Amino acid sequence: MTSPLTQLRKFVAPEIIFGDGARHAAGNYVTTFGAEKVLLVSDPGVLLAGWVADIEAKLLEANIAVVRFTAVSPNPRVDEIMAGAELYRETGCKAIVAVGGGSPMDCAKGIGIITAHGGHILDFEGVDTIRVPIPPLIFIPSTAGTSADISQFAIISDQQRRMKFSIISKAVVPDVSLIDPEVTMTMSPYLTACTGVDALVHAIEAFVSTGSGPLTDAHALEAMRLISSHLEALVANPTDGELRAQVMLGSMQAGLAFSNAILGAVHAMSHSLGGFLDLPHGLCNAMLLEHVVAYNYEAAPDRFKRVADAVGIDCRGLSQQQVKKALFQYLVDLKHAVGLGGTLGVMGVSRSDVPFLTNHALGDPCILTNPRRSSSRDVAVVYEEAL
């Protein structure tokens, strides 16, 4: 009989360089891949913060030609990916370097897919749809949360359908992730909070996912410990380099966990919500988190008790219902402490929108590894509770 410890599990990860100054290795890796010209993908905010020029200068020092593509929205759009792929082809680039948060990195993944296959990015929605290798991807994250630099996910916004869709494949795991806490120093406290809560959700959902296992559990638990211990302090002290490094390390650990264990209903519902209202992904997760935890709790009470332990709740002598209540309250208090209070109703969602949101959430691949099997009515009720 197969035990949970001996069940077959796959674990994929990029080559990772972690620490201050990691970004300076970009030129060396581009050279290793034999590319003399790269597409540098970013967004206007990261450009304004100076990181595009910083990375470009290092690439030029290594005699690597650079073509900039910074027309990326906060939720990367189908047309932006197609435009980036066309620029890549026209200019003869041979690799992609992305600097930024999840949006530039997911856009870069989409550009890589199209340059390798042709066609349209909508053709690749779903799981394991990529047939041939894509160009080398070298990613430098500027936020501590999305973990697109680690994961086998690309999340794209389809403006016509008012929804986000997922592309899941080990082919989009970057070749190299240069995780440099210094690059996160220009994040605002609000963005720090959004991405930090996103990373915490990654860790929690990965740990209770039906795809979890010993290879992912250790990363998920350590991510919860690091983020819960340091995020609130970081939001209050955004220039503290040590706090930034701790949260960045937590985000990396969460990425290694969720990329392999996959996620759950928070992300399935958040993708639907974010596509509908074009809201920041971390904020969507924050508004749904405690409601989904309450819904899922009975399906994995022992797992959620370990979550509670990991975030610092003293569970000694508490019943399962008391642990559930304490964890729910902890999540609410943490969100408010980092400035992410609010409800779906405040953001513009009405009860009449719930069927649309529910339909798209049920079609999201993340729902498949949720610990509790979810019907249309189940998901609708959680959305309604979050109003």
The CATH number covering residue 116 comes to 3.40.50.1970
The proportion of the chain whose per-residue pLDDT surpasses 70, expressed as a percent, equals 99
Chosen domain end from 120, 151, 184:
184
Indicate the SS3 state at residue 126: strand
Q: Which residues contact 336 (CB under 8 A, 6 or more apart)?
A: none
The pLDDT of residue 342 is 83
Give the separation between CA 69 and CA 100, rounded to whole angstroms: 12
Residue 214 resides in a domain: yes
Give Cβ neighbours of residue 98 (< 8 Å, ≥ 6 apart). Answer: 40, 41, 42, 104, 105, 107, 108, 137, 138, 139, 140
For the cut 70, the answer to whether the pLDDT of residue 387 exceeds it is yes
> Within a domain: residue 23?
yes
pLDDT at 144 over 80: yes
Does residue 9 belong to any structural domain of this protein? no
> Do both 49 and 113 map to the same domain?
yes
The structural domain count of the chain equals 2
Separation of alpha carbons 161 and 276, rounded Å: 8
Higher-confidence residue: 326 or 164? 326
**Residue 234 sits in the same domain as residue 380:** yes
Q: Helices 281-296 and 265-277, interaxial angle, to 10°?
A: 140
Residues 291 and 362 in one domain: yes
Q: Is 221 exposed, middle or buried (0-12, 13-18, 19+ CB in 10 A)?
A: buried
In sequence order, what E strands does 159-239 have? 163-168, 176-179
Residues 161 and 74 in one domain: yes
By CB atoms closer than 10 A (0-12, 13-18, 19+), residue 53 is exposed
CB atoms within 10 A of CB 229: 16
Report whether 194 contacts 276 (CB < 8 A): no
Residue 2 has pLDDT above 90, yes or no: no
Dist CA 190 CA 83 (whole Å): 30
Average pLDDT, integer, range 190-199: 95
pLDDT at 3: 62
Report the amino acid identity of residue 61.
Answer: E
312 and 178 fall within a common domain: no
Mean pLDDT computed over every residue of the chain: 95
Cβ(201)–Cβ(289) under 8 Å? yes
CA distance 153 to 158: 16
CATH of residue 251: 1.20.1090.10
- Compute the average pLDDT of residues 25-30: 97
Domain-terminating residue out of 184, 205, 231: 184
380 and 316 housed in the same domain? yes
User: Do residues 200 and 329 share a domain?
Assistant: yes
Residue at 328 is within a domain: yes
Starting at the edge strand that comes first in sequence, how are the strands of the sheet with 95-100 ordered? 15-18, 176-179, 137-141, 95-100, 37-41, 65-69
Model confidence, pTM: 0.95
Range of the domain at 149: 15-184
Residue ending a domain, choose from 184, 199, 222: 184
In-domain check, residue 226: yes
pLDDT digit string, tens, across residues 47-98: 999 999 999 999 999 999 999 999 999 999 999 999 999 999 999 999 999 9
Q: Say whether pLDDT at 35 is over 90.
A: yes
The reply to whether 286 and 241 lie within a common domain is yes
In a domain, 289, yes or no: yes
Please answer whether residues 230 and 199 qualify as being in contact, where contact means their C-beta atoms are separated by less than 8 angstroms: no
Cα 143 to Cα 179: distance, rounded to the nearest angstrom: 10
Give per-residue pLDDT as tens, 306-352: 999 999 999 999 999 999 999 999 999 999 999 998 899 999 999 99
Q: Are 135 and 32 found together in one domain?
A: yes
Q: What is the arithmetic mean of pLDDT over 237-252? A: 97
Give the residue-averaged pLDDT of 268-277: 92
Same domain membership, residue 379 and residue 260: yes
Q: With respect to residue 315, please indicate whether it lies within any of the assigned structural domains.
A: yes
Q: Sorting pLDDT into bands at 50, 70 and 90, what band is 1?
A: very low
Residue 132 in tokens: 């041939």
User: Which residue from 108, 119, 114, 122 is spatially nearest to 175, judged by alpha carbons?
Assistant: 108
Judge whether residue 263 has pLDDT over 80: yes
Residues 217 and 166 placed together within one structural domain of the fold: no
Q: Which helix (H) or strand (E) holds 103?
A: helix 102-117
Same domain for 134 and 225:
no
**What radius of gyration, in Å, describes the C-alpha atoms of the chain?**
20
